[in-house]
Structure 1
Amino acid sequence: MSTTVAVLGTGIMGSGMASNLIEQGFDVRVWNRSREKTRPLEDAGAHSAASPAEAVEGAAVVLTVLFDEGVTAEVMERALPSTAPGAVWAQAGTVGVKGTADLVKLAERNGVGIVDTPVLGTKGPAEQGTLVVLTAGEGEALATARPVLEAFSAKEIHVGDRPGQASALKLACNAWVTTLTAGVAQSMAMAEALGTDPRLFLEAISGGPLDAGYAHVKGEAMLSGEYDPSFTVHGALKDLDLMVDSARSHGVAAGVLDGVRVQFKAAELSGHRDEDIAAVFEAVTPDDR
């Protein structure tokens, strides 16, 4: 008999993760606030539940891929009373360290084991099953969740036994992602404004010690002006707030992140809220471009 997995949240990331679970032979139950986003998964063989409570009934693993701590807590408060005995909650959304601690308390109040399982990667890796999963949690709960995590990941980095440790590393990684993207936008905007083909910036760093594959992915999107979302500007801003708060609360200077946040906020305010983070380029280019 196949393992039953409930996936709560089938947006950009959750839909790809759920698709891989279906392909790997899991019995997948999905729920999303917007039912329309579960239709393709239904067609692929998932059961679309009418509520979080219905989705988790009989599931051995409950995977949450929701926007933030508030949404995750609200959904799981509805779901947890219906979880099966021995079920494990794999929390994959980016909610920060404090948010994870609050969700751990929620799980404990309901007698459900929880593991901290944020992922690195965006839409493409989620669909291709090549995400990097960061894990933190106790051995038995993690062992239950691991086959599910392996279905949509190519690599696991075990951070520790305490939930929250993986989320801490996720914030550090997202600090790099957002800073790199903003940096590419700044460099390409400068090149263009100073009369140089911005594509030559990508050529100049290619193959050398300054190179990064992600710079080319986002740089090409900036050149084309096509910002099909893999990681939205709005999502990046939510994560940047978590990064800045966490850095400051631990005595880490956050000036770089503050500057990056200003650029992403400008991109959001100029109409790019739901577009890919590469749209930060539009916030640093001259108005008369």
Structure 2
Amino acid sequence: MTKAVALLGTGLMGAGMARSLLRAGLAVTVWNRSAEKARPLAADGATVAEDPGSAVSGADVVVTMLFDAESVGAVMAEAVGSLKPGAVWLQCATVGLDGVDALAALAAKHNVPFVDAPVLGSRQPAEDGKLIVLAGGDPSLRGSLDPVLDAIGTRTLWVGPRPGDGHRLKLAANSWVLALTAGTAQALALTRNLGLDPQLFLDLISGGGLDNGYAQLKGKAMIAGEFPAAFSLDGAVKDAGLIAAALRDAGADDRLMTAIHEQYRAAAAAGHGDSDMSAVFLAHGRENTQ
């Protein structure tokens, strides 16, 4: 039975996931490249490791929640030799399809059981243990992973037996989230720039068939000009690029996602990369063109 978990990457999502694991009674060791982001977790009961190898050395399950495929690959290449026999690698970061293949190959090279398990949700669901996990991998590993999956999420959907199956569904889900947020930003900016109060747009869709809780949440932040990060703009730029690449590789039309990617990229390039993804609204400018 899983008793000890190592979590590598304690940023916006990883820190909340670590606290959820601790609340479930698991022994948790954490590591982060920027150590100051990991140290506060000691007050919650986590052991803070100085390097990836020492973080994973006693773990039954290793969870990676770093920014991208390159960072996950570099850290696990350093840590993999310290894994104990039978330890399972649960890869939760969104790294794209090529990234999953590369990480699965690294795991296979070292005979490490590997499950691709990106998560759907943002900072608060991670803190509350209410993520949705989209898993792809050997179903025989489910029993050893259930304590971890039950701690970090309200639901785990086993998408398929191949590493990468979880990512295929995650990229589709994120394509919808990114399009919804960017579309809300465009509608509010157009309402404003045509000389109306942008709140009128949210009022218009409220309670009807066009309404959406996420659009209301992000739309209110856009109108207020307040963007505390639940999911960062830099993360949205990364994911939009991965989705556009997946569309091209699948032979699908990538023009819509490429345009959305450019909107997020423009807002991040203006200095808002650490802000919430709803800051894509700033790509439309601040001035009322009335």
User: For residue 243 of structure 1, what is the aligned residue in structure 2?
Assistant: 243
User: For residue 167 of structure 1, what is the aligned residue in structure 2?
Assistant: 167
Residues 40-76 of structure 1: per-residue CA shift (max 9 Å, x gap): 2111110000110000011000000011100000000
Q: CA deviation at 1:286?
A: 5.2
8 A Cα contact 1:94 1:118, kept in partner: yes
Cα distance in structure 1, aligned partners of 2:149 and 2:90: 9
8 A Cα contact 1:2 1:25, kept in partner: no
Query: Superposition pairs for residues 20-31 of structure 1, below 5 Å?
Result: 20-31=20-31
Cα distance in structure 2, aligned partners of 1:118 and 1:161: 14
User: For residue 81 of structure 1, what is the aligned residue in structure 2?
Assistant: 81
Moved more, 232-241 or 11-20: 232-241
2:46 alignment partner AA: A
Q: CA deviation at 1:143?
A: 2.3
Q: The residue matched to 1:115 in structure 2 has which SS? A: strand
User: For residue 113 of structure 1, what is the aligned residue in structure 2?
Assistant: 113
Query: Superposition pairs for residues 95-106 of structure 1, below 5 Å?
Result: 95-106=95-106
8 A Cα contact 1:115 1:142, kept in partner: no
User: For residue 268 of structure 2, what is the aligned residue in structure 1?
Assistant: 268
User: For residue 67 of structure 1, what is the aligned residue in structure 2?
Assistant: 67
Cα distance in structure 1, aligned partners of 2:28 and 2:224: 37
8 A Cα contact 1:136 1:159, kept in partner: yes
Q: Given the superposition, is the C-alpha separation of residues 128 and 238 from structure 1 closer, same or farther in structure 2, using an over 3 Å criterion?
A: same
For normalisation by structure 2, the TM-score amounts to 0.97
Structure 2 portions without partners, runs of 5+: none
Cα distance in structure 1, aligned partners of 2:245 and 2:268: 20
User: For residue 32 of structure 2, what is the aligned residue in structure 1?
Assistant: 32
User: For residue 183 of structure 2, what is the aligned residue in structure 1?
Assistant: 183
Q: What fraction of aligned residue pairs are identical, expressed as a percent?
A: 47
Q: The residue matched to 1:156 in structure 2 has which SS? A: strand
Residues 167-194 of structure 1: per-residue CA shift (max 9 Å, x gap): 0111111111111110000000011111
User: For residue 211 of structure 2, what is the aligned residue in structure 1?
Assistant: 211
User: For residue 146 of structure 1, what is the aligned residue in structure 2?
Assistant: 146
Q: CA deviation at 1:240?
A: 1.0
User: C-alpha root-mean-square deviation of aligned residues, in Å?
Assistant: 1.3
2:257 alignment partner AA: L
Q: CA deviation at 1:128?
A: 0.9
8 A Cα contact 2:131 2:155, kept in partner: yes
Q: The residue matched to 2:227 in structure 1 has which SS? A: coil
Q: CA deviation at 1:241?
A: 1.0
Structure 1 portions without partners, runs of 5+: none
Q: The residue matched to 1:85 in structure 2 has which SS? A: coil
Task: Please tell me whether residue 157 in structure 1 is matched to residue 157 in structure 2.
Answer: yes
Cα distance in structure 1, aligned partners of 2:115 and 2:277: 28
8 A Cα contact 1:3 1:26, kept in partner: yes
User: For residue 279 of structure 1, what is the aligned residue in structure 2?
Assistant: 279
Q: The residue matched to 2:7 in structure 1 has which SS? A: strand
Cα distance in structure 1, aligned partners of 2:102 and 2:142: 19
Cα distance in structure 2, aligned partners of 1:39 and 1:74: 22
Cα distance in structure 1, aligned partners of 2:270 and 2:99: 29
Structure 1: 4+ residue segments shifted above 3 A = 285-289
Moved more, 136-145 or 116-125: 136-145
Cα distance in structure 1, aligned partners of 2:110 and 2:270: 43
8 A Cα contact 1:272 1:279, kept in partner: yes
Residues 112-155 of structure 1: per-residue CA shift (max 9 Å, x gap): 10001100000010001111111111122232112101101011
8 A Cα contact 1:53 1:81, kept in partner: yes
For normalisation by structure 1, the TM-score amounts to 0.97
